[in-house]
Amino acid sequence: MPATVKGGVELRKALRNFAPELGKETQKEIASVLKPVVKEARGFVTTSPLSNWAREGGKFPVFNASIVKRGIGYKTTPSKPNRRGFTALAQIRNRSAAGAIYETAGRRAPGTKPSSRPNFAQAMGPLTGSGKERGRLIYKAWENDKGNATKAVLKAIDNAGKTFNRMVGTR
């Protein structure tokens, strides 16, 4: 469960409209925090987790290490609201199909049946993290980061808010 903030989206809108330079600076600051996590996550990508997965053919996504690495990235602008109405101010993403499979294989919701092919997930190695936030690439890197990135992002946003308020002369 990500840390929740209030007024973050409004602040980003205000920055974009009234202090674009400050907005860009904030984005750069957030990016600088997220980059090491992404770099670490990319480092977890192996040549091929399974011997046959790199072979072409069939409908199943082929594991290509470079594509999987390219799919791992970050986003420093607010996302669209999810089904529950939450908007993320920043995100770390694993967008390739094979990368997503490698990330989440073997993860199942509590109470659901175990996978019919458990060997597939077991061969890829253990999942790192807890609950829904368990994985082998970005979630592992995020877990290793121990929340430092979150703190840094929140601090960057908070600083930007303070600077903005100072600029406009309120508070």
The residue ranges that bind another protein (CB under 8 A) are 2-9, 34, 78-79, 81, 83-97, 99-101, 103-104, 133, 135, 138-139, 142, 149-150, 153-154, 157
28 or 169: whose CB is closer to another protein? 28
Query: Smallest Cα–Cα separation from 47: which of 70, 63, 71?
Result: 63
- Find the helix or strand (DSSP H, E) in which 130 lies: strand 128-130
Best CA proximity match to 64, nearest among 55, 72, 74: 55
| Cα 161 versus chain centre, distance | 23
Pick 22 or 103: Cβ nearer another protein: 103
Q: Which residues of 80-98 are buried (b: 16+ CB within 10 A; e: fewer)?
A: eeeeeeeebbbebbbebeb
**Residue 25 beta carbon to another protein: minimum distance, rounded to whole angstroms:** 17
Q: Are 135 and 104 in contact (CB under 8 A)?
A: yes
Shortest distance, CB of residue 171 to another protein, whole angstroms?
19
In angstroms, what is the minimal distance from the CB of 169 to another protein?
25
Q: Which is nearer to another protein, 4 or 51 (CB)?
A: 4
Q: For another protein, give the closer residue by CB, 22 or 161.
A: 161
- C-beta of 92: minimal distance to another protein in Å? 4
